[in-house]
Structure 1
């Protein structure tokens, strides 16, 4: 698999073990990964400067992932955001679409689904089957 040394994927999740697992998966694909424990930490320390894709939990203490995407929208950021969540409700899919989220993945999900989503976010063609 080719290295993608200049591509940075931000992982935002308050669950340390999930965040670490996602960072490891992203790095195994040859991308750089940066983990953040909250949407606020991401916005305060990195925002979307230099980030090619964001993978964010929706339900976190403080600012939700959707609220974070809305903040990115306000500053004119077009960084693609893939949302992940273990908690769903009837209107969640629509709220993700309304804020411009690229994908909504429900935990637990197959790693390949995330890999394909990152490829989509980065403009890569899906792998041939």
Structure 2
């Protein structure tokens, strides 16, 4: 008998890219509770230079970051032929940004602060669609 949580045989890797340290510390803990394998990066450049790029099943990506923005990373991944579901997370309540994210192929868009339920629902939808 296990702890009551059924773990998938191969846990999907969800990557968090956010320059906000508090998000990089709290979000991975929640994602692990949901049963995902998690890595967090402070910048798009760090993510692109990591060994996670090809294994990532879903990307939780901040829109507004220093250096390469979330949109920039989305376009870079597309240019590299890498199709990974992207869920943008942002504190900016801006319908134009939301529309642009979906027009460029985002799988989801969450406004900070978002609920655990909204996060899990959006993740499941994004990874089911990939």
Cα distance in 1, alignment partners of residues 53 and 99 from structure 2: 23
In the alignment, which residue of structure 1 is the partner of 2:111? 106
In the alignment, which residue of structure 2 is the partner of 1:3? 7
- The one-character-per-residue Cα deviations of 1:47-82 (angstroms, maximum 9, x if unpaired) are 631110000110010111111011111111111000
Cα distance in 1, alignment partners of residues 50 and 57 from structure 2: 16
Cα distance in 2, alignment partners of residues 90 and 121 from structure 1: 20
- The one-character-per-residue Cα deviations of 1:102-122 (angstroms, maximum 9, x if unpaired) are 111111111110111111122
- How far residue 6 of structure 1 moved from its aligned partner, in angstroms, is 2.9
In the alignment, which residue of structure 2 is the partner of 1:29? 34
**Is residue 80 from structure 1 mapped to residue 122 from structure 2 by the alignment?**
no
Cα distance in 2, alignment partners of residues 12 and 46 from structure 1: 14
**Is residue 67 from structure 1 mapped to residue 72 from structure 2 by the alignment?**
yes
Contact 2:15 2:60 (8 Å CA) reproduced: yes
TM-score scaled by structure 1?
Answer: 0.89
Q: How does 1:7-22 map to 2 (within 5 A)?
A: 7-22=12-27
RMSD: 1.5
Cα distance in 2, alignment partners of residues 31 and 104 from structure 1: 19
In the alignment, which residue of structure 1 is the partner of 2:60? 55
Total equivalences in the alignment: 124
Cα distance in 2, alignment partners of residues 59 and 31 from structure 1: 25
TM-score scaled by structure 2?
Answer: 0.88
Runs of 4 or more off by more than 3 Å in structure 1?
A: none
Structure 1: unaligned runs, 5 residues or longer: 125-129
